[in-house]
Amino acid sequence: MASAPRKPVSPYKRLRFRLEAVTLRAAAWLVSKCSRRFAQRLGRRLGSLAYALLPTLRRISLENLQVAFRGTMSREQKQRIARASLANVGATLLALFWSPRLAREQLDGFVDVTGLEHVRVLKAQGRPIIFITLHYGDWELLGLATGFYGIPITVVQEAMQNEALEEIFGRLRAVSGHRIVPGRFAATTLLKTLKRGGNIALLIDLNATPKRGGVWLDFFGLPVFGNAAVAALALHTGAAIVPGVAHPLPDGRCRIVYGPEIAYQATGDYDTDVRAINQQCLRFCEDVIRQQPEHWMWSYKRWKFLPEERRDGYPFYSRYWPM
């Protein structure tokens, strides 16, 4: 599927993009020469350093925690969770740089898995699957492992300003056989994949873009503007909706859990069904986060859009965008 041309960039940005790409390729090469456990440890330290040195990320994380937990946690608890969250993001991304060395025969040394048998039953029945997950735990290893288990997926990757970085991350995420498509133009590809009995994966804890449409959902008691794709695709294709979560374990390994499947039924009221199904999916995410909040990416601007011109309860970065 052809993508629209990107906006032209200034000479300064072109130079910056080249430097970013060279730096990332060098980092990926160096990390690939180390052990996966060393990459995780280094990533955690870099994430902790980011918490200490980057006040904007720190402030976003702490305000998001305030939105979610309000007065039920002390400031010290929120600071600990915010620091651990950035450490987890660092560990996950650096471990992704190590992924070209990952092979199926090594996977059992890094992963315990539950629920894979249900996924295999769905595939034996010829059912297409929409895998949903969130930026929690080792979400990158979750994607790679699913491919190594013999379940190839069409994966949506958010577009980046720097096309070279997008290409690097796409290549790393495809090492176990996945097809990577840019999020900006993925709708038709995803629909065709499911209609042919294939599988797709969506990260559903991201904001939707008002220009491209979405649906208001409840997340930790406040409306957020989310993508409607999971429900829309499921209703059009009859695909199963299967959550996948990679829970970190103390020894650097992770426990991957597939399911339980999110059941849904079309009532004939399309708009109501879209909202209800997507709300079920986001409620699953919230339940996972509440159990171990330090593993979610609190530095993301999840409450970016306001449903009306009032800020009550929203973080500093929220903006009203007339829909």
* pLDDT score of 208: 92
Where helices occur in the chain by DSSP H, the ranges are: 11-32, 36-53, 55-69, 75-97, 104-107, 116-124, 139-148, 163-173, 187-195, 229-237, 270-291
Going by C-alpha positions, the residue among 226, 246, 231, 285 that lies closest to residue 68 is 285
Q: What confidence score (pLDDT) does residue 43 get?
A: 96
Q: What is the mean pLDDT of each run of 10 residues along the chain (323 residues)?
A: 56 89 93 94 97 97 97 96 98 95 92 96 96 98 96 89 90 94 83 96 92 91 95 97 96 94 95 97 98 98 91 92 75
Tell me the Cα Rg of the chain: 19
pTM (predicted TM-score): 0.93
What is the C-alpha to C-alpha distance for residues 155 and 290, in angstroms, rounded to an integer? Answer: 26
Judge whether 233 and 194 are in contact, CB under 8 Å.
Answer: yes
At 102 the pLDDT is: 92
pLDDT value, residue 2? 40
